[in-house]
Amino acid sequence: MKVNGAGKHQDRVFKLTVDSLMNVSGSDIRHEMCFAGIDEVKPDTATNGVVWLKYKSETQWRKIILNPNDAPVFVQNLLEGMKLYSANSTELDPFQDAQAAQPTV
């Protein structure tokens, strides 16, 4: 369940892909955020099942309410995806190889 800015609870399915987090309602993708755009994710320390998500493009945290048993797995898998994406994106950076190949004077 996603909680919007007005505090309204919205039933959603969160789907992790190879490089993004998708917010799905029925058969519609409501929002997709690339792992590179996610700044931080953390479980709520006071309430089981609540996860806080911070996008780099936003100043406010987003609240996600999950089944208490699913929340730790969601956080762990999202953090792993973000870490793998970050590692792979630096390995695939075309400018990194081009800069390394330039001669030094």
Note the pLDDT of residue 93: 52
Predicted TM-score (pTM) of the model is 0.74
Q: What's the average model confidence in pLDDT over 2-10?
A: 78
**Measuring CA to CA, how many Å separate 24 from each of 11, 46, 53, 70, 88?**
9, 27, 16, 17, 26
- 12: confidence class by pLDDT, cuts 50, 70, 90: confident
Q: What's the average model confidence in pLDDT over 12-33?
A: 90
**Among the ranges 79-83, 88-92, 101-105, which has the highest mean pLDDT value?**
79-83
Distance CA 105, CA 88 (A): 31
